[in-house]
Amino acid sequence: MAVTATTASARPATVASRAGAAAVTTALVLLVAALAVVDITQGTAAVGPAEVLKALTGQADPADASVVIASRLPRMTAGLLVGAALGMAGVALQAVSRNVLASPDTLAVNAGSYLALGLAAVTGVSLPLLASSGIAFAGGLAAAAVVLGLSGLGAGTVRLVLAGTALALGLTAVTEGLLLLFPRQTEGLYRWNQGNIGQNGFDGVVQMLPAAVVGLAGLLLIARRVDALALGDDAARGLGVPVRATRVTAVVLATLLSAAAVTLAGPIGFVGLCAPALVRPLARRFRGFLRLRTGVPVAGLVGAALVLGADVLLRTSVDPDTAVAVPTGVVTSLVGAAFLVVMAARLRDTAQAAAPDTLRIRGRAVFLTTLTVLSIALVGITVAAVLLGDSKLLLGDVVNWAQGRAGRTVSFVLDTRTPRVFAALLAGAALALAGTLVQAVTRNPLAEPAVLGVSGGGALGAVVLVTTVPLAGAWSVAGAAFAGSAVTAVVVFGLAARGGFQQNRLVLVGVGVASGTTALISLLIVLTDPFNAGKALTWLSGSTYGRTLPDVLPLAGVLAVAVAVAAVRHRELDLVSLDEDTPRLLGLDLARGRLGFLVLSVLLSATAVAAAGTIGFVGLVAPHAARALVGRRHTRVLPVALLLGAVLVCTADLLGRTVIAPAQLGAGLMTAVIGTPYFLHVLMRGRR
């Protein structure tokens, strides 16, 4: 009788759960329909709801009908298709990776598609939409395969997301280099990368709809196998599920959905992350949503609501002319970045903060030899950077210039080139020192100013001032950069400190903040000067172009003070980098010391950004290489890291100025290409 009673009571609960799920689905459909109706009534033309209704019934003026049929309806349907495709792709990727942070953005799918389309654009061949979709699919699938292959698929880990983010940074750097090198062939690609659902007619939607349908149908067919993966690989195999084939098939189908969305509207950021996250609370309440067969369509509805909602919110908040200029993807990226920060702060992180490297003992002779070799390398690269460029000079020209006896041409070249060399040298040294301080304080081998969003905050502050006050001086730009870096540092370190600077949480919060600052920079550029994408690319690519000696003075002053402080307090750095208990046992105020070093690192990062733009991975590579060469004692690590950072950035700047002269590439793009593999190496070494 007890069993019968239990079974009888379970049936109403199941029926109630199904009824609730049906009610929620109906509510989502009505919400999407309402947003779609509102969306087609918004625009720059004076075509309101009455005119839209007449156009749909064939009674409108031909001009009004043209606006509705050729522009607004295609935009609305594109929003529906893109949002649904990204939502479904996100829930599929999270299911097969068992990772709540997996999405087309965080797994570098969008970055791979961006690079593939950039390479296709460089050829100058005009491709039909279907061919572009195929290229985007191939690029996104290759990027996802690399990330999944490198990081593994352990449940609960965020290393998959960190690997995807690092790869996305490298791929995006290469693509931005193509944009700078081939501006005519890639015209409009940067703006496309911001994501915009605006369409001219239904051609794009009609061509991409079959790809989305195939992706949805495929996911529904393998839904039961994917559900079995949630039990674990061994349990799934016991049920007869081909684990590897199921996982590969799901990733391919998710990439197909992402490629369709990317081809139609460009990368619409973080919809694939937010939509599944909004479905999860529903799944906890209504068990029917736990299964992929029902979760995929619901995630598609939520994704469609997010994209259309962002478009409606944008056009409601600002005037129509401004709303047209702002890409939809910028709005979703801002929301998604905040969403990622909140999720990262709430995640349980099993990777506790630890010493950056194992203890290494190096002899004094090794240290002196390393210091000598790096000093010689620094002198050599500095001389080469001064002499080489679009115009080659001799040492005699430099001597004559220093004595005031050079000709007009030589003087002009050196007057413009020398500040660039100083900016690269000082920025490299500053970022290396900042990375050394951050890694010591947080005991996190992945910590680095650019990865943690501190450099992005500085770039945002500088761009805000430069775009609003074009005549601002060097010290003002440095102050604005420091303000931006300070705000982002407070957010990142404040959230991470609550959990003891746990490795994955710290970096993931930083990644979210960095994504937000990048979206804000794009938004600012679009609003102030929508046709000047080069201005944003200059800051984001880390270029020293156009720098003068006054621009470098703030960085030189801060670096001198920081080096002096770090040299005096090098023993404190050694203690802080060990553990939490040893400094306290020796009477050290750990919180105060940690705060002081972090403030110093923020100052260094901000002034480096003001002088040379955003340059990533130097703060990661230089400290690691220094510890590998001379051990962990900071009295030796500091000078070696400073020299390595200066040599790395100056070399990157020299290569960017000379290899493809007269065209130029920013030093930040070069260091990103170098630093991305190193970041992945450090990440995988920590996993092993």
Cα–Cα dist 648/619, whole Å: 11
Q: Residue 58: helix, strand or coil by DSSP?
A: coil
> Count of alpha carbons within 13 Å of 48, Cβ hemisphere only?
1
Q: Locate tokens 């990262």: which residue?
A: 344
Report residue 381 as tokens.
Answer: 């690269």
Using a 10 angstrom Cβ sphere, with 0-12 exposed, 13-18 middle and 19 or more buried, the burial of residue 63 is: exposed
Write down the pLDDT at residue 662.
67
Write down the pLDDT at residue 504.
64
Cα–Cα dist 479/458, whole Å: 9
The DSSP letter of residue 71 is: I
Report residue 625 as tokens.
Answer: 């290489």
| 226-253: burial string, b at 16+ Cβ within 10 Å, e else | bbbbeeebeebeeeebebeebbebbbbb
What 3 state SS string does 456-473 have? HHHHHHHHHHHHHCCCCC
Report residue 495 as tokens.
Answer: 């959230």
What 3 state SS string does 314-374 have? HHHHCCHHHHHHCCHHHHHHHHHHHHHHHHHHHCCCCCCCCCCCCCCCCCHHHHHHHHHHH
Tell me if 333 sits within 8 A of 516, measured CB to CB. Answer: yes
Q: Locate tokens 């839904």: which residue?
A: 223
**CA 25 distance to own-chain centroid:** 33
Write down the pLDDT at residue 311.
86
Q: Locate tokens 């998604």: which residue?
A: 336
User: What does CATH list as the number for 16-346?
Assistant: 1.10.3470.10
What 3 state SS string does 140-197 have? HHHHHHHHHHHHCCCCCCCHHHHHHHHHHHHHHHHHHHHHHHCCCCCCCHHHHHCCCC
- Of 464, 512, 521, 87, give the one whose Cα is nearest residue 335: 512
Query: pLDDT under 50 in the chain at which residues?
Result: 1-11, 13, 154-156, 350-359
Q: How far is CA 143 from CA 150, 168, 278, 386, 676, in A?
A: 11, 8, 26, 38, 13
Write down the pLDDT at residue 144.
83
Q: Tens of pLDDT along 138-158?
A: 888 888 888 877 765 544 455
Q: Tens of pLDDT along 464-505?
A: 887 777 777 777 878 888 888 888 888 888 877 665 556 567
Residue 433's contacts (CB-CB under 8 Å, 6 or more residues apart) are 559, 562, 563, 566, 601, 604, 638, 641, 642, 645
Q: Tell whether omega for the bond before 662 is within 30 degrees of 0, i.e. cis.
A: yes
Q: Locate tokens 């043209």: which residue?
A: 66
| 191-224: burial string, b at 16+ Cβ within 10 Å, e else | bbbbbbbbbeeeebbebbbebbeebbebbbebbe
Using a 10 angstrom Cβ sphere, with 0-12 exposed, 13-18 middle and 19 or more buried, the burial of residue 407 is: exposed
Cα–Cα dist 377/328, whole Å: 47
Q: Which CATH class is domain 364-687?
A: mainly alpha
Residue 476's contacts (CB-CB under 8 Å, 6 or more residues apart) are 465, 469
Q: Residue 240: helix, strand or coil by DSSP?
A: coil
| 293-304: burial string, b at 16+ Cβ within 10 Å, e else | ebbbbbbbbbbb
Residue 93's contacts (CB-CB under 8 Å, 6 or more residues apart) are 102, 103, 104, 107, 250, 251, 254, 272
Whole-structure pTM value: 0.77
Report residue 20 as tokens.
Answer: 């609730």
Q: Locate tokens 């702002």: which residue?
A: 326
Tell me if 520 sits within 8 A of 591, measured CB to CB. Answer: no
Domain spans of the chain, in order of start = 16-346, 364-687
Residue 664's contacts (CB-CB under 8 Å, 6 or more residues apart) are 180, 543, 545, 656, 657
The DSSP letter of residue 60 is: S
Amino acid identity for residue 408 in this structure: R
Q: Tens of pLDDT along 520-549?
A: 887 777 777 655 555 556 666 677 777 888
Q: What is the CA radius of gyration of the chain?
A: 27
Cα–Cα dist 462/579, whole Å: 36
Using a 10 angstrom Cβ sphere, with 0-12 exposed, 13-18 middle and 19 or more buried, the burial of residue 350 is: exposed
Using a 10 angstrom Cβ sphere, with 0-12 exposed, 13-18 middle and 19 or more buried, the burial of residue 127 is: middle
Comparing 16-346 with 364-687, is the CATH topology the same? yes
> Count of alpha carbons within 13 Å of 555, Cβ hemisphere only?
32
Tell me if 349 sits within 8 A of 503, measured CB to CB. Answer: yes
Cα–Cα dist 166/147, whole Å: 9
**CA 317 distance to own-chain centroid:** 26
The DSSP letter of residue 445 is: T
Q: How far apart are the first and last CA of the chain?
A: 54
Tell me if 474 sits within 8 A of 454, measured CB to CB. Answer: no
Tell me if 590 sits within 8 A of 442, measured CB to CB. Answer: no
